[in-house]
Amino acid sequence: MGAAGLSTTEMVLNIGPQHPATHGVLRLRITADGERITAAEPVVGYMHRGAEKLFEVRDYRQIMVLANRHDWLSAFSNEIGVALTVEALLGMEVPERATWARTLLAELNRVLNHLMFLGSYPLELGAITPMFYAFREREELQAVMEEISGGRMHYMIARVGGLREDIPNGWLDRVDTAIAAVRRRLPDLQAMLVGNEILQARTFGVGVLDADVARAFGVSGPIARASGLDVDLRRDEPYLAYAELFAEGGPGRVVTRTAGDCHARLEVLLEQVEVSLELAERCTAVLRELPPGPINVKLPKVLKVPEGEHYQATENPLGFNGYYLVSRGDKVPWRLKLRSASFNNVQALAQLLPGTVVADMVAILGSMFFVVGDVDK
């Protein structure tokens, strides 16, 4: 019997796999007692990409094309993960200019990723305007990314040994101009998000993810840090130029919150945009001071990786992105296992949603900041 003396019956609701509130094709199997969710099961696989099996029949140059597609909002970061993994097994030393240029592009890609979610998340709560502001800032940075790579979503500029081609003349100046424009206007977007009373009412104390639960599910990235987990591979296991950027006195810092709710996750994204802009600005300054030199390592016509295995994880915009490469000495990997951020992060919904009401489900789901291709890898 219910609290008012009425008998209640649990209902099973299928949210998806074609629900407009989801980022792609995800299905949630919700069990609800009235308006209260009692159980939730994320059902994945409707968009299965088969990336890992496709990797095994492509050579290492072709893998780059596929790797940037599972999380299409973090394309360059995905490419870098593959390149670093292969370079480690090859024992290859990448030119310093390539390392700093890669770091710059990775941070610009991080800002583009976060701006997308900062615009789309309020849209799911009924706020239309922030999307226009977020996309205005994205276009500033998309212009410089497109200039150097030729692509707007799938950049395909990373290569084993460096980058595909050198930095265009005057490009660093245009990057600095774009960064300055975004930084100058970012308070407008912040005011519409963290300063909005309606958005605060929909996010404060809603969807609280406990730090222990986040750790148990392997949650990483902004979602984990919003729950108080002070973890960032750029600082903890530095790659590219992050050891210098996160050294004492450098611009790198790890953004955390302790509330673990939807609002905390939104705040982490906003502050991480500011940090990434600072990191990108330092990269352009360093690149100006470096002497002229190669941007990549000349590779043989047929690239074969020595027999062995190596795991390389990077701090992608959405969390840990790892590649476990097993080579038999051939021109294709024997196995290339992908550990994607969104896959682990989405699983936490099974613990996060029970106890909440159906009306808050979309607010919680949107705050998990996932890409379905990164789940259904």
Tokens of residue 40, six digits: 């939730």
**What count of residues does the chain have?**
377
pLDDT tens-place string over residues 243-278: 999 999 999 999 999 999 999 999 999 999 999 999
User: Phi/psi at 310 (nearest 5 deg)?
Assistant: -160, 140
Q: Is residue 24's pLDDT more than 90?
A: no
CB 109, CB 77: distance < 8 Å: yes
17-31, 201-215, 294-308, 356-370, range with the lowest pLDDT? 17-31
Among residues 141, 160, 103, 86, the alpha carbon closest in space to that of 330 is found at 86
β partners of residue 313: 322
Question: With contact defined as beta carbons under 8 Å apart, do 323 and 68 qualify?
Answer: no
Q: How many CB atoms lie within 10 A of CB 352?
A: 26
If 0-12 CB within 10 Å is exposed, 13-18 middle and 19+ buried, where does residue 329 land?
A: exposed
For the four alpha carbons of 39, 45, 47 and 49, in that order, the dihedral sign comes to positive
Host H or E run for residue 180: helix 171-193
- pTM score over 0.85: yes
Residues 29 and 32: their CA atoms lie apart, in Å, by: 10
Nearest in space to 298 (alpha carbons), one of 129, 120, 94: 94
- Percent of the chain with pLDDT strictly greater than 70: 96
User: Are 175 and 147 within 8 A, CB to CB?
Assistant: no
Mean pLDDT of the chain: 93
Comparing CA positions, the residue from 250, 215, 211 lying closest to residue 234 is 250
What value does the CA radius of gyration of the chain take, rounded to a whole number of Å? 21
309-320 mean pLDDT: 97
**Structural domains for the chain:** 51-341 (1.10.645.10)
pLDDT digits (tens, 9 = 90+) for 132-166: 999 999 999 999 999 999 998 899 999 999 999 99
